[in-house]
Chain A
Amino acid sequence: MPEIKVTPLGAGQDVGRSCILVSIAGKNVMLDCGMHMGYNDDRRFPDFSYITQNGRLTDFLDCVIISHFHLDHCGALPYFSEMVGYDGPIYMTHPTKAICPILLEDYRKITVDKKGETNFFTSQMIKDCMKKVVAVHLHQTVQVDEELEIKAYYAGHVLGAAMFQIKVGCESVVYTGDYNMTPDRHLGAAWIDKCRPDLLITESTYATTIRDSKRCRERDFLKKVHETVERGGKVLIPVFALGRAQELCILLETFWERMNLKAPIYFSTGLTEKANHYYKLFITWTNQKIRKTFVQRNMFEFKHIKAFDRAFADNPGPMVVFATPGMLHAGQSLQIFRKWAGNEKNMVIMPGYCVQGTVGHKILSGQRKLEMEGRQILEVKMQVEYMSFSAHADAKGIMQLIRQAEPRNVLLVHGEAKKMEFLKQKIEQEFHVNCYMPANGETTTIFTNPSIPVDISLGLLKRETAIDAKKPKLMHGTLIMKDNSFRLVSPEQALKELGLAEHQLRFTCRVHIQDPRKEHETVLRVYNHLKGVLKDYSVQHLPDGSITVESILIQATAHLEDQGTKVLLVSWTYQDEELGSYLTSLLKKGLPQSTS
């Protein structure tokens, strides 16, 4: 039986290092190629030796698909393609293709230049890797090869994020990547049509959360920032350069404007302006409102938000700083955090999910004494706030997407095992589909039961649908199977095509009837009798004295010896076997007396 196999190399019952292998109808596809923020050793990248121990990965994979530019979805790509070795196609959307190399370069710099690691991918490798990328449009059907096709759907989450449908014949898988079912200040909501995939692989970051309305969270956020600034404190908002940052910038920008606030807002790293440029150029990927108004006012041109300089961190007075990276695991955000952590007037707002092992995760779980490099202990006195602004679907959103796509099976990735377990139950209860949640390295097999497409000759189809196309009806045909082509034709055509003659099998039965009357009277009695019994059939009395029932012929002759007995010759072909057999047995019982 045809089957689809799924093996997560990363993101199986975990968040980070997304990398999922899918085998569908003989095609192997790798979904995402991410790094894990919580590890600095081998575990940060997926274990590609699972695909092959020796030999090029190109021979084992038909294509790689990257859902969006976050490093936990694309961070291992140069390592995978240039260091392990893969030359096949890599698919991603245009914005992802534009932004991904910048984040990879950033990641490389932090790892190699700051942490001094060797044996890491180089800038050139990032460039070479990006040369293998094929950019796709939304909803474009990309033919990877003759059988394998992929199609991208809008996913919200970050600029250029996409869900992908992978299709071979009539079997299909949808991989959501990370997605968001509610539009936010800069992006629209994820959308997919009722594509009924055999399997939906969905993220489940917020598997158990039903988030309150966005407006409340935004008001909360603004209130906290405002209060801190009012009392002269500094606000640190660790973010990734692209994505949530822009949403929060838009939020603060409009708030500052409305409240006429003067405290400076900074955005760290040179990426800022560049990042905003991407948003301007890819404005078609943002939400309706921004797209509609961009000619008059481009939302990504900020008046109040200025570039940050390292020296500003020590300036007195209130300020708000957006700094990268978002989980406080390295770089500028961590530096600023160390400077400001000791003052209780200050505040750090974590606007997104933090992976285990990061400083962000530690302070969010309540740790207030952190061991930094060199055994130094950092005491955290500043206020720590968590505000879920990460644009993942919550439980309601995930259920909504399942309802939209109507998959036959669901598989959860990119979430924590405990929470997945809960969601899995909910999905199975509500949709009556199987739900899987494999761990990394564990293979899930899903059996599909595809129907078989064949070519039916129009003649045969029209013959069958001529009367009432809507009503199901029984049809008869011959399936010709030749060189992998399947054609359903009428039996006559099949014989003709194969150059075979029909062999006609005919039966003629003698039925003796006691009837002293003249032959033609007997015939008339038989005719009336049959006409009475076989109401739905065409019974005819022909001028030559014979009777036909459909194509069955009945003739009467006198018995040679016995004048009181008539012999009915009933003749039919094999195709009328049922009716012919029925007629003889009917006639054998004789004619009813009352018939005149």
Chain B
Amino acid sequence: MKLYCLSGHPTLPCNVLKFKSTTIMLDCGLDMTSTLNFLPLPLVQSPRLSKLPGLVLKDGSTFLDKELKECSGHVFVDSVPEFCLPETELLDLSTVDVILISNYHCMMALPYITEYTGFTGTVYATEPTVQIGRLLMEELVNSIERVPKAQSASMWKNKEVQRLLPAPLKDAVEVSMWRKCYTMPEVNAALSKIQLVGYSQKIELFGAVQVTPLSSGYALGSSNWIIQSHYEKVSYVSGSSLLTTHPQPMDQASLKNSDVLILTGLTQIPTANPDGMVGEFCSNLAMTVRNGGNVLVPCYPSGVIYDLLECLYQYIDSAGLSNVPFYFISPVANSSLEFSQIFAEWLCHNKQTKVYLPEPPFPHAELIQTNKLKHYPSIHGDFSNDFKQPCVIFTGHPSLRFGDVVHFMELWGKSSLNTVIFTEPDFSYLDALAPYQPLAMKCVYCPIDTRLNFIQVSKLLKEVQPLHVVCPEQYTQPPPSQSHRTDLMIDCQPPPMSYRRAEVLTLPYKRRYEKIEIMPELADSLVPLEIKPGISLATVSAMLHTKDNKHVLQLPPKPPQPPTSKKRKRVSDDVPECKPLKPLLSGSIPVDQFVQTLEKHGFSDVKVEDTAKGHIVLLQEAETLIQIEEDSTHIICDNDEPLRVKLRDLVLKFLQKF
């Protein structure tokens, strides 16, 4: 069993597990932090951005000044943003049989894998994962494609050139692997390869392995996966949550008895308590609006936004914000809000019960009905007519590099009345803000990451008791910025095996058994013998059939009956055909009883001699000698087949067969 680690990002994993005869890709996360190195894509030309000075290298050379721009001491690539793909060279990705997706954030690299590597397998994911994943991809493609950029910078990627650049560009890894965004046709082609699955559905792969998604509690339709054969069990835990938010709670019990547990997607902000952050979010929002400022919330179109809207639903009246308009701007805003209401089966118990009434599970339906929340596909069209300030705007992308958020950063950045509140934990907010500096607007960082923290992990591991834990190397040491916090790492026995990008791990386990089916006719023919109390044995000689990795034992075919007349003539010429299958023997022969038996069968001249290790039984007339020892019997005789066979059968009577 081997694990190929294709991504270095612990929350956007991409691993390939070779298990029995199958090759299974676990998630294909897309590392979008690479986009932070690029200039934002404004919808309308921004004078500020276009006036940024080109980079002058230390030696004074300016050949990169078209590609790289400087802003407040940071250098940015002036080009279409690019993403860091999972490793594609570590193994031949066309050999991947299936891809298992755990949540919609972890499938963003799917088109790169399915459309560019010769992949011919199947992708498995739950329905909400696919629907919302599609929305995330649509939004991504839309926000990049609608601002076509003439320039595509590539000179800086040259290894010799990159060396000369200031950090962080100098240290950016695998820049040659960075790719532009995929297109909608590629998204559609990728999504068409997905087969929908439900929680606790057992999916057979080639008869060799069974995979099962389990609720992971993190997002709508998010799942952990069990990959198991009859004897081995690998649990893949990716993005799980024990907090009660909108999704169905995490299924922990099914993770028990794993040989190997692969642990990814823990919280990225282990020191922040999500509940506290939500509180801070609300109070900062209220304060800004009361002071006449606007609030900008850069966010994904699905996920935490549902919880934020629910909090605001309860909060706005008491905070006196009923008249403040809330806008949700995204090409998929409407779809996201609609879809959230139709996945009742994937929601927590409380929300499920609402559907039985029947009422929409999320209160944002009411916010929309009462006109408190309005959603728009973009800032064009209806929005510009309805736009009233002060207001609260939810829009993407959290990286602040593309999407309508860029427009509002430019629009509101100069006023200290306004606030941008970061809730998504995927991007460093300081890095995200860098190309907008200097900024007058307030910045509040309330990262809400509901995924497991280290305390919950250690509790979980104690509970489910895996034999081995495998995790990204980041989890085996404290965060670099807080090296004294040894509590912010995984602590388990035996210590976890860690992996990093482009590494191949050999997972410890030893298979000893396989399932085989004994056909009823064969089972009927078996003769069990009780050897010890409670233990019976039966010797089995049977035909082994193997098909689709399933093994079946059947009665051996009856030997074909050749014409008997012919057979009689040439009886001794028939070389025995199939390798004879004689059982092993065990036991020992009591000499006295053996002699008595011989005498009973007509041997009158039996003589017994004692030897160092046993006895010798002599049949004088037959010139036959039988050496009997504890663990062996040796019959030495003339070539008298009937005699030998007779003696053989008498000896066998005293022995057990295996």
Q: Give the interface of A toward B (CB within 8 A).
A: 94, 97-98, 101, 135, 137-142, 151, 274, 277-278, 280-284, 294-295, 449-458, 461, 464-465, 469-470, 472-483, 487-488, 491-492, 494-495, 498, 500-512, 533-534, 536-537, 574-579, 581-582, 584-589
Chain B residues contacting A589 (CB-CB under 8 Å) are 572
Chain B residues contacting A98 (CB-CB under 8 Å) are 355-356, 358
The answer to whether B198 touches A503 (Cβ under 8 A) is: no
Chain B residues contacting A506 (CB-CB under 8 Å) are 632-635
Asked if B7 is at the interface (CB within 8 A of a chain A CB), the reply is no
B423 to chain A, nearest CB (A): 25
Additional A-B contact list (7), CB under 8 Å, known A472-B546, A506-B634, A576-B582: A281-B360, A455-B231, A475-B544, A481-B528, A487-B513, A492-B584, A512-B639
Please measure, in the bound complex, the distance between the C-alpha atom of A297 and the C-alpha atom of B235, giving whole angstroms. 41
Interface membership of chain B positions 533-576, coded 1 if the CB is closer than 8 angstroms to chain A and 0 otherwise: 01111111111111000011110100000000000000010011
The answer to whether A135 touches B345 (Cβ under 8 A) is: yes
The answer to whether B644 touches A507 (Cβ under 8 A) is: yes
The answer to whether A456 touches B514 (Cβ under 8 A) is: yes
A28 to chain B, nearest CB (A): 23
Asked if B63 is at the interface (CB within 8 A of a chain A CB), the reply is no
The answer to whether A458 touches B514 (Cβ under 8 A) is: yes
The answer to whether B540 touches A575 (Cβ under 8 A) is: no
Chain B's closest residue to A476 (CB) is: B581
Q: A284-B127, A474-B541, A581-B641 are in contact. Are A586 and B535 (CB under 8 A)?
A: no
The answer to whether A461 touches B516 (Cβ under 8 A) is: yes
Q: A451-B517, A455-B514 are in contact. Are A509 and B658 (CB under 8 A)?
A: no
Chain A's closest residue to B583 (CB) is: A491
Please measure, in the bound complex, the distance between the C-alpha atom of A458 and the C-alpha atom of B509, giving whole angstroms. 14
Please measure, in the bound complex, the distance between the C-alpha atom of A98 and the C-alpha atom of B584, giving whole angstroms. 64
B68 to chain A, nearest CB (A): 42
The answer to whether B541 touches A510 (Cβ under 8 A) is: no
Please measure, in the bound complex, the distance between the C-alpha atom of A564 and the C-alpha atom of B658, giving whole angstroms. 44
Q: A283-B342, A295-B338, A534-B575 are in contact. Are A502 and B635 (CB under 8 A)?
A: no
Chain A residues contacting B198 (CB-CB under 8 Å) are 137-140
Q: A281-B360, A282-B344, A455-B515 are in contact. Are A480 and B543 (CB under 8 A)?
A: no
Chain B residues contacting A507 (CB-CB under 8 Å) are 634-637, 644, 648
Q: A464-B544, A470-B546, A579-B580 are in contact. Are A482 and B534 (CB under 8 A)?
A: yes
The answer to whether B520 touches A574 (Cβ under 8 A) is: no
Chain B residues contacting A474 (CB-CB under 8 Å) are 541-544, 556, 578-579, 581
Chain B residues contacting A464 (CB-CB under 8 Å) are 544
The answer to whether A295 touches B339 (Cβ under 8 A) is: yes
A241 to chain B, nearest CB (A): 13
A523 to chain B, nearest CB (A): 17
Chain A residues contacting B200 (CB-CB under 8 Å) are 137, 140-142
The answer to whether A455 touches B518 (Cβ under 8 A) is: no
Interface membership of chain B positions 305-344, coded 1 if the CB is closer than 8 angstroms to chain A and 0 otherwise: 0000000000000000000000000000011001101111
The answer to whether B518 touches A282 (Cβ under 8 A) is: no
The answer to whether B658 touches A494 (Cβ under 8 A) is: yes
Q: A284-B127, A474-B578, A479-B540 are in contact. Are A495 and B586 (CB under 8 A)?
A: yes
The answer to whether A94 touches B556 (Cβ under 8 A) is: no
The answer to whether A281 touches B344 (Cβ under 8 A) is: yes
Chain A residues contacting B513 (CB-CB under 8 Å) are 455-458, 487
Chain A's closest residue to B630 (CB) is: A501
The answer to whether A582 touches B531 (Cβ under 8 A) is: no
Chain B residues contacting A494 (CB-CB under 8 Å) are 537, 658
Asked if B23 is at the interface (CB within 8 A of a chain A CB), the reply is no
The answer to whether A472 touches B543 (Cβ under 8 A) is: yes
Interface membership of chain B positions 110-145, coded 1 if the CB is closer than 8 angstroms to chain A and 0 otherwise: 000000000000000001000000000000000000
The answer to whether A458 touches B511 (Cβ under 8 A) is: yes
Chain B residues contacting A488 (CB-CB under 8 Å) are 516, 540, 553
B50 to chain A, nearest CB (A): 37
Q: Give the interface of B toward A (CB within 8 A).
A: 127, 197-202, 212, 230-231, 334-335, 338-339, 341-345, 352, 355-356, 358-361, 511-520, 523, 526, 528, 531-532, 534-546, 551-554, 556, 572, 575-576, 578-589, 630-639, 641, 644-645, 648, 651-652, 655-656, 658
B255 to chain A, nearest CB (A): 15
CB < 8 Å neighbour of A510 from B535, B585, B633, B638: B638
The answer to whether A451 touches B519 (Cβ under 8 A) is: yes
The answer to whether B201 touches A141 (Cβ under 8 A) is: yes
Please measure, in the bound complex, the distance between the C-alpha atom of A352 and the C-alpha atom of B569, giving whole angstroms. 78
The answer to whether A282 touches B544 (Cβ under 8 A) is: no
B379 to chain A, nearest CB (A): 20
The answer to whether A281 touches B572 (Cβ under 8 A) is: no
Secondary structure call for the A interface: mixed
User: Residue among B360, B517, B656 with the most chain A CB within 10 A?
Assistant: B517
B113 to chain A, nearest CB (A): 25
The answer to whether A456 touches B551 (Cβ under 8 A) is: yes
Chain A residues contacting B541 (CB-CB under 8 Å) are 474-476
Please measure, in the bound complex, the distance between the C-alpha atom of A455 and the C-alpha atom of B201, giving whole angstroms. 24
The answer to whether A586 touches B572 (Cβ under 8 A) is: yes
9 inter-chain pairs at a CB distance below 8 angstroms, sorted by A residue, are A94-B355, A98-B358, A137-B201, A281-B344, A454-B518, A474-B581, A505-B633, A505-B648, A509-B637
Please measure, in the bound complex, the distance between the C-alpha atom of A453 and the C-alpha atom of B230, giving whole angstroms. 11
CB < 8 Å neighbour of A491 from B231, B512, B539, B630: B539
Please measure, in the bound complex, the distance between the C-alpha atom of A509 and the C-alpha atom of B631, giving whole angstroms. 21
The answer to whether B636 touches A508 (Cβ under 8 A) is: yes
Chain B residues contacting A135 (CB-CB under 8 Å) are 345, 352
CB < 8 Å neighbour of B545 from A151, A455, A472, A502: A472
Chain B residues contacting A477 (CB-CB under 8 Å) are 539-540
CB < 8 Å neighbour of B658 from A277, A451, A495: A495
The answer to whether B587 touches A503 (Cβ under 8 A) is: yes
Minimum-distance CB pairs A-B, first 9: A578-B580, A137-B198, A491-B658, A491-B584, A504-B632, A456-B516, A277-B358, A451-B517, A139-B201
Q: A451-B519, A461-B516, A509-B637 are in contact. Are A141 and B202 (CB under 8 A)?
A: yes
Q: A295-B334, A479-B526, A509-B639 are in contact. Are A574 and B585 (CB under 8 A)?
A: yes
The answer to whether A481 touches B535 (Cβ under 8 A) is: yes
Chain A residues contacting B644 (CB-CB under 8 Å) are 507, 509, 581
The answer to whether A503 touches B637 (Cβ under 8 A) is: no
The answer to whether A504 touches B631 (Cβ under 8 A) is: yes
A11 to chain B, nearest CB (A): 27
Chain A's closest residue to B511 (CB) is: A458
Chain B residues contacting A501 (CB-CB under 8 Å) are 586, 630-631
User: Residue among B335, B513, B541, B651 with the most chain A CB within 10 A?
Assistant: B513
Chain B residues contacting A574 (CB-CB under 8 Å) are 582, 585, 648
The answer to whether B201 touches A469 (Cβ under 8 A) is: no
Chain A's closest residue to B647 (CB) is: A507
Chain B residues contacting A498 (CB-CB under 8 Å) are 531-532, 535, 537
The answer to whether A480 touches B651 (Cβ under 8 A) is: no
Chain A's closest residue to B531 (CB) is: A498
Please measure, in the bound complex, the distance between the C-alpha atom of A136 and the C-alpha atom of B544, giving whole angstroms. 39
Please measure, in the bound complex, the distance between the C-alpha atom of A580 and the C-alpha atom of B264, giving whole angstroms. 62
CB < 8 Å neighbour of A500 from B127, B197, B586: B586
The answer to whether B539 touches A478 (Cβ under 8 A) is: yes
The answer to whether B576 touches A282 (Cβ under 8 A) is: no
The answer to whether A504 touches B635 (Cβ under 8 A) is: no
A515 to chain B, nearest CB (A): 15
A159 to chain B, nearest CB (A): 12
B559 to chain A, nearest CB (A): 11
CB < 8 Å neighbour of A582 from B512, B572, B586, B635: B572
Please measure, in the bound complex, the distance between the C-alpha atom of A454 and the C-alpha atom of B538, giving whole angstroms. 13
Q: A451-B517, A481-B538, A574-B582 are in contact. Are A473 and B202 (CB under 8 A)?
A: no
CB < 8 Å neighbour of B542 from A94, A295, A475, A509: A475
The answer to whether B544 touches A473 (Cβ under 8 A) is: yes
Chain A residues contacting B519 (CB-CB under 8 Å) are 451
Chain B residues contacting A511 (CB-CB under 8 Å) are 639
The answer to whether A508 touches B633 (Cβ under 8 A) is: no
Chain A's closest residue to B542 (CB) is: A475
CB < 8 Å neighbour of A284 from B212, B342, B645: B342
